[in-house]
């Protein structure tokens, strides 16, 4: 259910509606808008009676939300959401470019790459301290030491940090060091982690599971927002198909599909989406042309020696070229990136 307040509704009337919702054992989610405030309701297991809310002062209308996801849907909030990561906007008119290595390997490696991507025009820096690897014998990440390196990189470069949390314990550590927490494809339906992320004080970057449908992706997003964390942005990173010329098949059609159904920002990761260095730049351009709010790309200055995902890492000079391309493209699709 969505309660739409009248445009002149007072703070007191809004408070009275939220209190009424709580008194019914439900959870109110106030959503301030340019014109009027709306209040989403979650926690009901059956349909609610609109009349129950429409009699309250200041209420214009109570609307049943038809989609299974509520708070992330455009039915509940028509305007695009803008998330703030380390003081920088994600979503809205300006494109966001996230870059960095797959994994934090050492302070020297991380700083070298961070300086190069910052000079080229990256907005946020990525790097995994906790790596979910297919093989238990592969490099698993530096853990806490990796987070400390990332914090140092932020100090040196001024770039906000985004890094993955793989479970509830690492989420607590990521919150202490990073500006945003990534939930990876393998954890998109780790519901206890999603709920924990929903209670986090930092923004969450949720990647699509490698075989998740659009509805499953948005329901996973709903888990985070329903716990109270509205600072959420999404990422398409490729899905499993029969095609074997790439690591995954980047599903760019999900970008306009998400935009149609949800107000959340959505970025695209062509690095995991293709797994091949030569395909990253063309698909990053395609993602922006398709309406994505930005891209996340893996960059390494010495990919042959990278401890994970070397074959898909682009070189710093390729990244600089990509940023130039995206600047040029931004104007064509009504976006900016200066
Ligand atoms: C990553 O971004 O480092 C990563 C592991 O991605 P994904 O979860 O999409 O595989
Ligand atoms: Mn990777």
Tell me the backbone φ, ψ of residue 248, rounded to 5 degrees. Answer: -135, 170
Nearest-angstrom CA–CA distance, 111 and 80: 34
* pLDDT, average across residues 19-41: 93
Which of helix, strand or coil describes residue 31? strand
Query: Phi and psi of 111, rounded to 5°?
Result: -65, -40
pLDDT at residue 99 greater than cutoff 90: yes
Residues 216 and 288 in one domain: yes
- Residue of minimum CA distance from atom 9 in ligand 1: 185
Ligand 2 centroid to Cα of residue 312, in Å, is 8
68 occurs within a structural domain: no
Mean pLDDT of 160-165: 98
Is there a domain that residue 76 lies in? no
- Among 146, 165, 184, 273, name the best residue to mutate to test ligand 1's pocket (greatest count of ligand atoms within 8 A of Cβ): 184
Q: Report the pLDDT value the prediction gives residue 153, as an integer from 0 to 100.
A: 98
For residue 337, being part of any structural domain is answered with: no
Listing DSSP states for 41-93 in one string gives EE--SSPPPHHHHHTSTTEEEEE---SS--TTBTTT--SPP-EEETTEEESSS
pLDDT (mean) for 155-164: 98
* pLDDT at residue 11, rounded to an integer: 95
**What contacts 245, CB < 8 A, 6 or more positions away?**
none
Radius of gyration of the chain (CA): 21
Residue 149 has a pLDDT of 98
Would 40 be classed as within a structural domain? Answer: yes
**Does residue 263 have a pLDDT over 90?**
yes
Residue 325: is its pLDDT beyond 90?
A: yes
Note the pLDDT of residue 32: 85
Query: Is the domain of 38 the same as that of 165?
Result: no
- Nearest-atom number in ligand 1 for the CA of 186 is 8
Query: Is pLDDT of 33 > 90?
Result: no
Q: For position 96, what pLDDT does the model report?
A: 98
- Determine whether the shortest distance from the Cβ of 247 to ligand 1 is under 6 A: no
12 has a pLDDT exceeding 90: yes
Considering the domain architecture, whether residues 94 and 183 belong to the same structural domain is answered as yes
Q: Are residues 148 and 34 in the same domain?
A: no
Please identify every residue whose CB atom is under 5 Å from ligand 2, which is an ion: 102, 309
For residue 300, which phi and psi values (nearest 5 degrees)?
A: -145, 140
Q: What mean pLDDT do residues 181-206 have? A: 98
Nearest ligand 1 atom to the CA of 132 is 5
If asked whether residues 202 and 57 sit together in one domain, one would say: no
In the structure, what pLDDT confidence band is assigned to residue 212 with cuts at 50, 70 and 90?
very high
> Same structural domain for residues 135 and 219?
yes
Query: From CA 243, how far away is CA 253, in angstroms rounded?
Result: 17
Domains contained in the chain, number: 2
Task: Check whether residue 26 and residue 117 sit in a common domain.
Answer: no
**pLDDT of 34:** 82
Question: Domain range for residue 19?
Answer: 2-63
Same domain, 30 and 139: no
CATH code for the domain of 209? 3.20.20.70
Q: What H or E segment, with its residue span, contains residue 168? A: helix 168-177
Which CATH number belongs to the domain containing residue 8 in this structure? 3.30.70.1140
Residue 305 in any domain: the answer is yes
Rounded Cα–Cα distance for residues 50 and 28 (Å): 15
Q: In this model, does residue 35 exceed pLDDT 90?
A: no
Task: Write down the mean pLDDT value for the chain.
Answer: 97
């Amino acid at each position: 259910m969505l309660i739409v307040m009248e445009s002149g509704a007072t703070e007191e009337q809004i408070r009275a509606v939220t209190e009424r919702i709580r008194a019914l054992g439900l959870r109110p989610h106030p959503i301030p808008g340019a014109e009027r405030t709306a209040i989403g309701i979650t926690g009901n297991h059956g349909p609610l009676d609109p009349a129950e809310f429409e009699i309250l002062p200041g209420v214009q209308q109570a609307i049943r939300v038809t989609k299974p996801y509520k708070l992330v849907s455009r039915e509940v909030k028509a305007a695009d959401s803008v998330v703030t990561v380390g003081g920088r906007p994600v979503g809205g008119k300006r494109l966001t470019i996230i870059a960095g290595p797959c994994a934090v390997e050492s302070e020297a490696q991380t700083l070298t790459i961070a300086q190069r991507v910052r000079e080229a025009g990256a907005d946020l820096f990525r790097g995994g301290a906790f790596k979910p690897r297919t093989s238990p014998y592969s490099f698993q990440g530096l853990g806490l030491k990796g987070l400390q390196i990332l914090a140092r990189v932020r100090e040196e470069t001024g770039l906000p940090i985004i890094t993955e949390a793989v479970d509830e314990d690492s989420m607590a550590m990521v919150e202490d060091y990073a500006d945003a927490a990534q939930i990876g494809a393998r954890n998109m339906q780790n519901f206890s982690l999603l709920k924990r992320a929903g209670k986090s004080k930092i923004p969450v970057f949720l990647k699509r599971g490698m075989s998740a449908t659009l509805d499953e992706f948005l329901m996973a997003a709903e888990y985070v927002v329903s716990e109270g964390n509205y600072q959420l942005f999404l990422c398409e990173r490729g899905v499993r198909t029969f095609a074997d010329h790439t690591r995954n098949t980047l599903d760019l059609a999900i970008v306009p599909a998400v935009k149609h159904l949800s107000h959340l920002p959505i970025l695209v990761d062509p690095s995991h989406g293709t797994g091949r260095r030569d395909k990253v730049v063309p698909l990053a351009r395609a993602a922006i042309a398709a309406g994505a709010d930005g891209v996340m790309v893996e960059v390494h200055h010495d990919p042959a020696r990278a401890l994970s995902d070397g074959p898909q890492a682009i070189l710093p000079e390729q990244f600089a070229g990509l940023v130039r391309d995206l600047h040029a493209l931004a104007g064509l699709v009504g976006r900016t990136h200066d």
